[in-house]
């Protein structure tokens, strides 16, 4: 499908979903003059809110099943990112699109794109916080934010667009010749989604699609580790690195954490303070995420002093080390978006007070070893039931940790955590595992945690 003309096109939306992406795809297609059908394996009661949001549009729904005749009927099929291209319903078809491919065909604005195993949502939200200081028309869309189709008609050609991209979304864009970001970044690469990939190399390959079409005048930002240094050699853009400590290189280009945990930017010759010494969220991980955002904002043209001032007021984002309550001297943090053990380890190590940790859930075939050493820092660990916990809990007990049997509800987990906590402690939900089984998705898990904490006994 070339161009953006969709008038009279028969469009099948595969996967309306819960989070709004499918909704915005439908709205966009109808707005562009397409005839739209939605097919979703969920029954109507499960996605009723999404259907109600589209009640004013002429759309046909096929729910609780997929039918071959609907896929054969369609001129284009717009799939949900969670549906793999290998799905038998779409495998081998040349007319498959996503909301991002439709957006990139339509969009004339400059793109700043960021991916990574963890930290990308915080980094892009901070980048939006920075760029809006000077560019109020800046928009953010993608993985855990709104679909960019929600704002494509509102953009001016000069408005920068920030895209947060998952490996699945990047896989869908590979080979389409659509994603050419002016600034591209990868926050890190960790073992994640190995239940979706045959091997880790395939996962890395999808991630690197974020910068593979960049030109010589574009910028790319990578972590200063074995992966980032390799990518900086292969990227056709101008590469900058984000480093956890003072650089030893004489002409280092990038950003780094210097003395007193202050973030700096270096153009290869001079260094500029980029981040405030005191940030709203504790820990190295948050600081590094802001360094990625600050580096991208600096390369886009913001002054380092603008970024420095804005960094002090950025409070983080919901569901990612979100400090939402202090009661009876106990601080509560919602880090439900931590779905790998590495991220849970980082959350635990970020705290400068005793932690009662709520972890566990559904397995993604990940390695729990990165959490072994940090686990000993927890005052107490409470586990949520699930297939990951079935493996993880015996491992922790074998290390000598005293942990009760897994809890089968969030209310029970919170009650157990509060029983252990006292003034000066923190209770953190940072599961290190997927949410499916007990919850529909990680955000429902986080909301359940907040509700259980805020409920008055």
Return per-residue pLDDT of the chain as tens, 457 residues.
445 689 999 999 999 876 666 899 999 999 999 999 999 999 998 889 899 999 999 999 999 999 999 999 999 999 988 898 899 999 999 999 999 999 999 999 999 999 999 899 999 999 999 999 999 999 999 987 789 999 999 999 999 999 999 999 999 999 999 999 999 999 999 876 555 677 889 999 999 999 999 999 999 999 999 999 999 999 999 999 999 999 999 899 999 999 889 999 999 999 999 999 999 888 888 999 999 999 999 999 999 999 999 999 998 888 988 889 999 999 999 999 999 999 999 999 989 899 999 999 999 888 999 999 999 999 999 999 999 999 999 999 999 999 999 999 999 999 999 999 999 999 999 999 999 989 989 999 999 999 999 995 4
Is 316 domain-assigned? no
Question: Who contacts 399 (Cβ-Cβ below 8 Å, separation ≥6)?
Answer: 372, 375, 376
Strands (E), 131-286: 139-142, 161-164, 183-186, 219-223, 238-243, 253-257, 263-267, 271-273
Q: Is residue 1 in some structural domain?
A: no
Helix (H) or strand (E) holding 78: strand 76-79
CB within 8 Å of 75: residues ≥ 6 apart = 1, 9, 10, 11, 95
Q: Does 400 fall in a domain?
A: yes
**What six digits make up the tokens of 5?**
């003309």
Question: Domain total for the chain?
Answer: 3
- Same domain for 219 and 353? no
Is 329 domain-assigned? yes
Q: Please check whether residues 297 and 362 belong to one and the same domain.
A: no
342 in a structural domain? yes
Closest of 420, 324, 414 to residue 378, by C-alpha: 420
Residue 358 to residue 423: CA distance in whole angstroms: 18
Q: Write out the two tokens for 436.
A: 């499916």
Cβ-contact 316, 286 below 8 angstroms: yes
The residues pairing with 331 across neighbouring beta strands, listed in sequence order, are 326, 426
Q: Are residues 123 and 252 in the same domain?
A: yes
Mark which of 35, 66, 97 sits at the end of a domain.
97
Q: What is the pTM of this model?
A: 0.82
Based on the fold, state whether residues 84 and 135 are members of the same structural domain: no
One domain, residues 267 and 178: yes
| 44 Cβ neighbours under 8 A, 6+ residues apart | 51, 61, 63, 64
Which residues have CB under 8 Å from 344's CB, separation 6+? Answer: 335, 338, 357, 359, 371, 374, 430, 431, 432
**CATH number (domain holding residue 342):** 3.90.190.20
Return the CATH number at 273: 3.40.1190.10
> Is 341 in the same domain as 439?
yes
CA–CA dist 446, 192 (Å, integer) = 20
Q: Of the candidates 64, 97, 130, which is a domain's last residue?
A: 97
> Does residue 317 lie within any of the structural domains?
no
Domain around 379: 322-454
Upper half-sphere CA count for residue 364 (Cβ side, 13 Å)? 21
Domain boundary among 50, 76, 97: 97
Pairing of strands 322-327, 271-273: unpaired
Residue 2 located in a structural domain: no
Same domain, 153 and 235: yes
368, part of any domain: yes
């Amino acid at each position: 499908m070339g161009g953006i003309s969709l008038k009279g096109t028969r469009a099948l939306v595969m996967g309306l979903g819960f989070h709004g992406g499918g909704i915005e795809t439908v709205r966009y297609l109808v707005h562009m003059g397409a005839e739209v059908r939605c097919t979703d394996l969920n029954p109507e009661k499960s996605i009723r809110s999404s259907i109600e949001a589209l009640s004013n549009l002429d759309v046909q729904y096929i729910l609780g099943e997929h039918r071959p005749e609907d896929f054969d009927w369609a001129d284009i099929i717009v799939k949900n990112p969670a549906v793999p291209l290998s799905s038998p319903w779409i495998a081998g078809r040349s007319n498959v699109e996503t909301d991002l491919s439709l957006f990139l065909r339509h969009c004339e604005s400059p793109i700043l794109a960021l991916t990574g195993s963890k930290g990308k949502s915080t980094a892009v939200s901070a980048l939006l916080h920075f760029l809006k200081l000077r560019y109020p028309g800046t928009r953010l869309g993608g993985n855990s934010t709104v679909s960019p189709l929600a704002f494509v008609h509102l953009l001016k050609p000069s408005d920068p667009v920030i895209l947060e991209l998952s490996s699945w979304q990047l896989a869908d864009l590979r080979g389409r010749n659509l994603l050419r970001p002016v600034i591209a970044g990868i926050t890190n690469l960790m073992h994640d989604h190995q239940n979706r990939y045959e091997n880790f190399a395939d996962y890395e390959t999808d991630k690197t699609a974020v910068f593979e079409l960049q030109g010589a005048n574009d910028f790319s930002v990578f972590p200063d580790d074995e992966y980032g240094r390799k990518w900086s050699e292969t990227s056709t853009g101008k590469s900058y690195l984000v480093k956890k400590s003072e650089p030893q290189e004489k002409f280092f280009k990038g950003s780094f954490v210097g003395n007193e945990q202050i973030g700096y930017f270096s153009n290869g010759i001079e260094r500029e303070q980029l981040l405030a010494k005191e940030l709203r969220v504790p820990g190295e991980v948050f600081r590094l995420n802001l360094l990625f955002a600050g580096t991208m904002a600096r390369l886009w043209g913001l002054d380092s002093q603008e970024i420095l001032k804005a960094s002090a007021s950025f409070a983080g984002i919901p569901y990612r080390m979100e400090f939402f309550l202090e009661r009876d001297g106990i601080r509560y943090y919602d880090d439900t978006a931590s779905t790998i053990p590495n991220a849970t380890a980082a959350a635990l190590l970020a705290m400068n007070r005793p932690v009662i940790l709520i972890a566990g859930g559904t397995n993604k075939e990940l390695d729990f070893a990165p959490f072994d050493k940090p686990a000993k820092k927890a005052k107490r660990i409470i586990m949520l039931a699930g297939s990951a916990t079935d493996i993880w809990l015996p491992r922790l007990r074998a290390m000598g940790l005293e942990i009760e049997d897994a809890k089968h509800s969030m209310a029970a987990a919170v009650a157990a955590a509060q029983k252990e906590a006292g003034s000066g402690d923190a209770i953190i939900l940072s599961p290190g595992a997927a949410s499916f089984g007990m919850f529909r998705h990680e955000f429902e898990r986080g909301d359940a945690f907040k509700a259980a904490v805020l409920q008055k006994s």
